[in-house]
Amino acid sequence: MKAKKHSIIVALAVFIFLGFVLIGKIALSPEARAEQQGVITLRLAQSKAGNHPVSKGIDKFAELIKEKSNGELAVETFHDSLLGSDREVIESAQRGSLEMASSSTPNMTSFTNYFTSWDLPYIFENKEEVYKAVDGKPGEIIREEMEHSGFKVIFFPDYGFRQVVNNVRPIILPEDLEGLKIRTTNSKIEQADFKQFGASPTPVAWSEVFTALQQGTVEGEGNSYSLLWDSKHQEVLKYATEVNYNYSSDIVVMNKEIFNGLSKQHQNIIMEAGKEATAWQRELANAREAEAKQQFLDFGIEIYEPSPQEMKVWKQSVKTVWDQFVKEGAADPEYVDTILKTLGKTKEDIFK
């Protein structure tokens, strides 16, 4: 009996020891792990499905890192919320328990209100405007601001414009949404958009949207063709209206302290890879969105494309959202002006 008890104690001691060793390995800095493994491994986590253009852009980034560093750097990617939601992985990157993370920009508003401006309806009316802003002064301001929160911004994967989709009836004008329960994100601006459209905005967690549409908890939503198709939402939808009411971007960040701890050569490789991945991913995202739209049509989803006059009605219906949110503490007025000046237009140009 004593021998058996002794064996159990020894086994427990070994188990505890191995546990501490494993925890120690996980907590090691990239440089410390490199001494053990001969390579600096950086973990990058995010929530989207592995086949989404954002995810593929991140995988391309990892591929470029390995190629440019001759294997000295490696980026290990985790998709499908494997290490947590957008919010959870971003907070892990901020703490340094995770080297890198990616999130949709609406989930980043707790770090800077500048992202709130990106949510304003029709502030970006096409991809050319999006890229001009992200690659210009508005993007530079975001990069500088995020450093105050402990992040190094690596690149902005292209997510896409949101369309209005539902399973009840065709939508031509905003008034046709009257009374429909439309799923929204937690974005106060998106909720205000649908309230002005005449719908009943209903925030629902993304993981629950398919079931909510299936059960009638909501009757529609706003999202990009590619994400809807890749998530099989075409199975619970019937109609789409292409109004581009909101643009969403993702952002890939790295813990600033960990970034600064790398050699200048490795820092340059990461930033160069981010720049090249951006160009590659944008092309993929645009091609995939067009492909997904055709898949919707082939599946039997009715897609309505408003005329220029009808688009004026859609825009005019959410003009008051700007009045509500362009203020200190929300969409910073000065930053909104910076975006508009970069794009060479005014608020009046958008809503005329």
Domains within the chain, CATH numbers bracketed = 25-159+249-287 (3.40.190.170), 161-248+289-351 (3.40.190.170)
Question: In sequence order, which residues have a C-beta less than 8 Å from that of residue 140 and are 6 or more positions away?
Answer: none
What confidence score (pLDDT) does residue 195 get? 97
List average pLDDT for each run of 10 residues in the chain, which is 352 residues long.
Answer: 51 49 46 63 94 95 98 96 91 97 88 93 96 97 97 96 97 98 91 97 90 97 93 96 94 98 98 98 97 98 98 97 95 97 97 92
- CA 207, CA 231: separation in Å to the nearest integer? 10
Assess contact for 57 and 281: CB atoms under 8 A.
Answer: yes
What confidence score (pLDDT) does residue 167 get? 98
User: What are the backbone dihedrals phi and psi of residue 79, each rounded to the nearest 5 degrees, phi first?
Assistant: -105, -175
Quick one: how far is CA 327 from the chain centroid?
A: 24
- CA 68, CA 203: separation in Å to the nearest integer? 43
What confidence score (pLDDT) does residue 237 get? 98
Comparing C-alpha atoms, which of 34, 102, 106 is closest to residue 281? 102
Pairing of the two strands 181-184 and 220-223: parallel
Long-range contacts of 228-236 (CB under 8 A, 24+ apart): 228/165, 228/292, 228/296, 229/292, 229/295, 229/296, 230/49, 230/51, 230/52, 230/292, 231/49, 233/165, 233/209, 234/295, 234/296, 234/299, 234/301, 235/210, 236/167, 236/210
What confidence score (pLDDT) does residue 118 get? 95
What confidence score (pLDDT) does residue 59 get? 98
What confidence score (pLDDT) does residue 230 get? 87
State pTM to two decimals: 0.85
C-alpha separations of 71 from 28, 36, 58 in Å: 20, 15, 17
CA atoms within 13 A on the CB side of 48: 26
First to last CA, the chain: 88
What confidence score (pLDDT) does residue 85 get? 87
